[in-house]
Chain A
Amino acid sequence: MNSVVISNSIRFIVLLLAQVIICNNINFLGYINPYIYIIFIFLFPIRDNRLVLLLVSFLLGMLIDMFSDSGGVHAAASVCLAYARPVLLKASFGMLYEHQSIKFSNTDLGSLITYVSFGTLIHHFILFSLEIFNVSNILLIIKKTLFSSIFTVILCVLIIILFSRKKK
């Protein structure tokens, strides 16, 4: 057991509990909730096996589903985000990703925000499409995606900066 595995396990549990106990009960303006547990998928070590990431994301989504009685919508959205992650990393960090040398603690803020925003949009769109499950409500899906995404992105970026930036 090395420190990476331990720190990721702790992050998994803390984010899961924070999501189901705090964030699922915010209901800002009646229906807007942030889904901060996807920070785990964003910050998963890049060099590790993608299969592990897929499996762990699925497990995380499934547990969230279990707590919030939502069938399999979080699991589906998390797995999609985990699968799309390399593309997002490449698009937002470019050369750094090619050299496998991204450290989230010292990337510049712009790329980080791009990465988190696009990831969140993908995740939330799949999440709300599956939750509402009705094409005729596409406006409601887009509205929910947009507002929840803004909330999630702000919280995610703040949390990532707060907990992972080392002092210079």
Chain B
Amino acid sequence: MQQIFNFVIKNKTFLLFLLLFSIALTLTIQSHSYHRSKFINSANTLTGGVYGTVNSISKYFDLERKNDILLEENKRLRAQLFNSKNKLDSSYIDSTFSKGQYKVINAKVYKNSYSLTHNYLTINRGEKDSIKQDFGVITSKGIVGIIDQTSSGYATVLSILNKKSRINAMLKTTDHIGSLKWNSASPFYVQLEDVSKFAPVRVGDTIITGGQSAIFPKGIGIGVIESFETDIGGDTYTIEVKLFNDMTNIGSVYILENLDRNEVKTLESLSNE
């Protein structure tokens, strides 16, 4: 017993180092699995508060650009409204009887990173705005990511620029689906993998979300095809997609809540049994 104590006292520095290092290593390994540890993320009051303070100052510097984005979006929505074939009164939905499938919540981005291999955003909405894990996040141009961790006032978003990110996507012209990943090479390009070789892939075609995952509705823009190549097996295409969004410059986002999500999940788990 005496010897054990002596050993501990003699090597206390090394043992403490080993302890701290293994804690850090555990957290690192945990962070590489899909849903990360609950403790170390920027969706908490301290980090959210600091980022919020900084954001409240820095937001003034690009007001003009944000105005332009809003104008652009308004223009597009107005064009859609005026050119829609069904007139407003015929598509009128009584909201007391029928709710839409998606609820949209706006949020501000407090932190954005794109130079790491595992990138996350921090936004200023959380559980008190009824934000939960696995809600979709988009901008007016295209998709951004999926909600990862939430606290009462803040949430982190698993960016599409993250090696863990897998998003169901498809070609706009046909319905050939694939899975959207990121190879961490450039923040402007993502890769669409496992597209069937029968798909008519052309450079310049649009890639949209596939709507098979109950996170994103079908048809949200992702990007355009920059180049493509056949896999080694020869059965599938891997497509290089240039994103519509400039992921290095994101100010405000929309969060999509799928109100039918639980129903879809229950149904899918039933048919999987």
B17 touches A83 (CB 8 A): yes
Shortest CB distance A133–B (Å): 6
B27 touches A69 (CB 8 A): no
B32 at the interface (CB under 8 A from A): yes
Shortest CB distance B243–A (Å): 15
Majority secondary structure, A binding face: helix
B24 touches A58 (CB 8 A): yes
| A17 CA / B114 CA spacing, docked (Å) | 20
Residues of B within 8 A of A21 (CB): 50, 54
B40 at the interface (CB under 8 A from A): yes
In the complex, per-residue mask of A46-58: 1 if CB is within 8 Å of any chain B CB, else 0: 0000110011001
CB-nearest residue of chain B to A78: B24
B36 touches A71 (CB 8 A): yes
B40 touches A62 (CB 8 A): yes
B209 at the interface (CB under 8 A from A): no
Interface residues of B in 1-36 (CB under 8 A from A): 12-14, 16-17, 20-21, 23-32, 36
- Contacts A30-B187, A69-B156, A75-B24 given; does A131 touch B42 at CB 8 Å: no
Residues of B within 8 A of A31 (CB): 115
In the complex, per-residue mask of B104-135: 1 if CB is within 8 Å of any chain A CB, else 0: 00000001011111101010000000000000
| A65 CA / B120 CA spacing, docked (Å) | 12
Q: Across chains A and B, which 4 residue pairs bring their CB atoms closest together, nearest first?
A: A71-B31, A72-B27, A76-B24, A75-B24
Residues of B participating in the A interface, judged by any CB pair closer than 8 Å: 12-14, 16-17, 20-21, 23-32, 36-37, 40-42, 44, 46-47, 50-51, 54, 111, 113-118, 120, 122, 156, 186-187, 248
Q: What are 25 A-B residue pairs whose CB atoms fall within 8 Å in the complex?
A: A32-B115, A33-B115, A50-B13, A51-B16, A54-B16, A54-B17, A55-B16, A58-B20, A58-B23, A61-B24, A62-B40, A68-B42, A68-B116, A69-B113, A69-B156, A70-B116, A71-B31, A71-B32, A72-B24, A75-B20, A75-B27, A79-B20, A83-B14, A83-B17, A131-B117
Residues of A participating in the B interface, judged by any CB pair closer than 8 Å: 17, 20-21, 24, 27, 30-33, 50-51, 54-55, 58, 61-62, 65-73, 75-76, 79-80, 82-83, 130-133
